[in-house]
């Protein structure tokens, strides 16, 4: 295949590419001799135990390499020789700064910046190879120029896409030029007629440049600031496996929900928002086939009762991500309410347990269920003292010496000896410390209330600014209890999105779920008649004025449709059945439900059944 030798030439558009590459003016390269074997030997001798040091040496070598004048073949061979060390280093670096608080300490933050620099320089390196080949195909002697160009574009797109994924995971804006570089690499492949040619990917499978470009593009359409870090990786991996169900093309050839401008530094937007301003560099993206497949997968997931999907790569995609993708990629969503600027204070406590505690009137879970006279069992008051625990077996480990007979201390020879053996003199302070329950946690110790300030507000929610460090509980998809004034009742909201600003402040988008909630404990009844331990749930009452039915907020796992549940707290017991799951995030699930009769009422109405019928059979008769 012959390449078009005029860089940026296209029969529809003669605009030049906007790839930014440095001038190759460096005269001396000090890291290793500029050939493949020397680069491989140098990489193998790096101190693998010190990941940050390896990363800095690789970054320095890439920066200098990008300023050296080399043939595209030699540059590509050197990059391939370094690729193994680069991938291991990038993986190890990410483990040290992901799943950290949103406002990271200095060391993880520096490692994240180092990772970003590595991806940027690696993308630049492969971009240089691509531009050199297009500018001068005759400079390639030992390879097919089109094949080498395709491979370099593929590698550059992978690196640029992973850097955008990294920005999403850190809830930060994509670096200036990040989207533009991704678009321009694809545009170069499209102009050269290489976008749909299959090449060998990292896992050995045959993929096209379009297959590599689209997953990152669609992830940008899937509201990544509403996802957890691990969910972003799972979604990106799933989109890569499903890329053959996505289409991209010029208007008329493809009619899609989203549109991307290849000359912009922006992610895709809804096609309807462009109006008649679409230009020759705009491409529409059709997600309809993928959405149909996602709906089929969700139906199959619901039918088997085992939530979640294991991808071909082994990555697990939570079931709530299927619903999230269907909502994001299936139809255009717009704000229901206008937002107005606001600087009012707002009290917030994040997490389902925290929301439960505050809506229960600042009562611990056991007190809510059993009342103020409740005394925890002895095993619940052991605290962290390892000498008071029996271990995994629940027995004294010394009993294993003779399991058939417990050890019994011989009686003392006389009363005086017994008294001496067992009397321990303690001062009054020690006696008080032993007698009082010092292991009980102070009320609300784990459920702090934070005073924040709103940036804007609407009837449906708030945008908040969080200055300083954020607790681990502040994550996208987390339930929160909020109120504007100390004397107000607690409302229930969900942290819908998170965005990290450059000045270390964090923006939170809250969606109001209900102006009030009732805290309960929930017992799950299994088909075998077993009953689970009580779990925290929140009942959101019906609001007839706006047609909002009552719903139940539950933990993310353990609850599913058609389960029968007992709701209880001191003096109250209700029997319900979960009917339809209407929302789910990594932090909670929300269900419609219906009230059902008490088993005693069923027994009173049905005299024909045996009086000793199992508890489960009563539930099945309801």
Read off the pLDDT band of 244 (50, 70, 90). very high
* Three-class DSSP category at 57: helix
Which pLDDT does position 605 carry in this prediction?
A: 53
C-alpha closest to that of 599 among 566, 571, 572, 559:
566
pLDDT in tens, 19-55: 888 998 988 899 999 999 999 999 999 998 899 999 9
Query: Cα(215)–Cα(228) distance, rounded to whole angstroms?
Result: 17
Going 379 to 382 to 388 to 391, the CA torsion angle's sign is positive
Going 596 to 600 to 601 to 605, the CA torsion angle's sign is positive
> What are the C-alpha distances in Å from 611 to residues 189, 477, 527, 608?
76, 46, 19, 9
Q: What is the average pLDDT score of the chain?
A: 82
Query: Cα(10)–Cα(446) distance, rounded to whole angstroms?
Result: 62
**Lowest mean per-residue pLDDT among 168-182, 340-354, 358-372, 604-618:** 604-618
Angle (CA) 601-606-610 rounded to 5° is 110
Exposure string over 127-158, b if 16+ CB within 10 A, otherwise e: bbbbbbbbeebeebeeeebbebbbbbbbbbbb
C-alpha closest to that of 164 among 236, 230, 98:
236
Angle (CA) 478-241-259 rounded to 5° is 75
pLDDT in tens, 425-476: 545 455 444 444 333 344 445 789 999 999 998 888 999 998 878 888 888 8
C-alpha closest to that of 98 among 150, 145, 162:
162
Helix (H) or strand (E) holding 60: helix 51-65
Look at 137 and 205; give whichever has higher pLDDT: 137
Query: Cα(569)–Cα(580) distance, rounded to whole angstroms?
Result: 24
pTM of the full predicted structure?
0.75
Residue 136 C-beta-side C-alpha neighbours within 13 Å: 10
pLDDT in tens, 498-550: 888 766 688 999 999 999 999 999 999 887 778 888 999 999 998 887 778 99
Residue 346 clears pLDDT 80, i.e. is over it: yes
pLDDT in tens, 91-123: 999 999 888 777 778 888 899 999 999 999 999
Domains of the chain with bracketed CATH: 1-195 (no CATH), 227-334 (no CATH), 340-362+445-514 (2.40.10.220), 518-621 (2.40.10)
Which pLDDT does position 502 carry in this prediction?
A: 67
**Lowest mean per-residue pLDDT among 30-44, 227-241, 261-275:** 261-275
Residue 622 clears pLDDT 70, i.e. is over it: no
Q: What is the mean pLDDT of residues 248-276?
A: 87
Read off the pLDDT band of 385 (50, 70, 90). low
pLDDT in tens, 495-506: 999 888 766 688
Look at 104 and 2; give whichever has higher pLDDT: 104
Which pLDDT does position 218 carry in this prediction?
A: 96
pLDDT in tens, 206-221: 899 999 999 999 999 9
């Amino acid at each position: 295949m012959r390449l078009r030798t005029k860089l940026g030439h296209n029969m529809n558009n003669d605009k030049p590419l906007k790839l930014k590459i440095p001038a190759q003016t460096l005269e001396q390269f000090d890291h290793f001799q500029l050939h493949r074997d020397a680069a491989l030997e140098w990489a193998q001798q790096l101190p693998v135990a010190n990941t940050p040091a390896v990363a800095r040496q690789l970054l320095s070598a890439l920066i200098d390499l990008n300023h050296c004048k080399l043939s595209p073949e030699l540059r590509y061979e050197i990059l391939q020789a370094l690729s193994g060390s680069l991938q291991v280093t990038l993986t190890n670096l990410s483990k040290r700064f992901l799943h950290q608080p949103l406002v990271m300490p200095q060391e993880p933050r520096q490692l994240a910046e180092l990772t970003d620099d590595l991806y940027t320089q690696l993308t630049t390196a492969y971009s240089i190879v691509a531009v050199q080949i297009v500018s001068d195909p005759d400079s390639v002697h030992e390879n097919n120029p089109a094949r080498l160009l395709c491979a370099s574009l593929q590698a550059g797109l992978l690196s640029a896409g992973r850097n955008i994924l990294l920005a999403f995971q850190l809830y930060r804006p994509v670096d200036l030029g990040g989207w533009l570089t991704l678009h321009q690499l694809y545009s170069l492949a499209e102009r050269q007629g290489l976008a749909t040619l299959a090449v060998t990917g990292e896992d050995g499978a045959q993929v096209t440049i379009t297959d590599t470009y689209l997953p990152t593009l669609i992830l940008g359409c899937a509201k990544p600031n509403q996802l957890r870090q691990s969910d972003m990786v799972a979604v990106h991996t799933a989109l890569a496996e499903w890329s053959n169900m996505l289409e991209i093309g010029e208007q008329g050839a493809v009619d899609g929900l989203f549109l991307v401008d290849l000359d912009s530094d922006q992610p895709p937007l809804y096609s309807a928002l462009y109006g008649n301003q679409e230009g020759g560099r705009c491409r529409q993206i059709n997600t309809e086939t993928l959405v149909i497949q996602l709906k089929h997968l969700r139906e199959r997931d619901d039918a088997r009762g085992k939530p979640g999907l294991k991808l071909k790569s082994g990555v697990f995609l939570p079931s709530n991500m299927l619903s999230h993708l269907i909502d994001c990629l299936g139809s255009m969503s717009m704000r229901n309410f206008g937002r107005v600027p606001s600087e009012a204070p707002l009290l917030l406590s994040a997490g389902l347990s925290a929301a439960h505690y505050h809506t229960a009137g600042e009562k611990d879970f056991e007190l809510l269920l059993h009342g103020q006279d409740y005394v925890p069992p002895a095993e619940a008051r052991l605290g962290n003292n390892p000498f008071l625990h029996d271990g995994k077996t629940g027995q004294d480990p010394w009993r294993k010496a003779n399991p058939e007979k417990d050890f019994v201390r011989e009686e003392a020879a006389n009363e005086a000896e017994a008294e001496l053996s067992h009397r321990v003199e303690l001062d009054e302070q020690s006696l008080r410390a032993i007698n009082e329950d010092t292991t009980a946690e102070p009320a609300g110790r784990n459920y702090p209330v934070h005073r924040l300030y709103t940036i804007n507000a609407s009837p449906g929610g708030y945008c908040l600014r969080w200055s300083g460090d954020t607790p681990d509980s502040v994550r996208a998809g987390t339930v929160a209890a909020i109120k504007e004034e100390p004397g107000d009742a607690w409302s229930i909201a969900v942290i819908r999105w998170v965005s990290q600003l450059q000045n270390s402040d964090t923006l939170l988008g809250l969606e109001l779920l209900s102006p009030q909630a009732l805290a309960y404990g929930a017992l799950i009844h299994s088909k075998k008649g077993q009953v689970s331990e009580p779990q925290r749930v929140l009942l959101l009452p019906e609001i007839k004025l706006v047609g909002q039915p009552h719903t139940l907020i539950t933990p993310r796992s353990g609850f599913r449709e058609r389960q029968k549940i007992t709701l209880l707290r001191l003096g109250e017991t209700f029997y319900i059945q979960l009917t339809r799951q209407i929302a789910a995030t990594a932090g909670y699930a929300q269900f419609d439900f219906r009230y059902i009769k008490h088993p005693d009422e069923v027994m009173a109405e049905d005299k024909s059944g045996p009086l000793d019928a199992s508890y489960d059979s009563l539930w099945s008769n309801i």
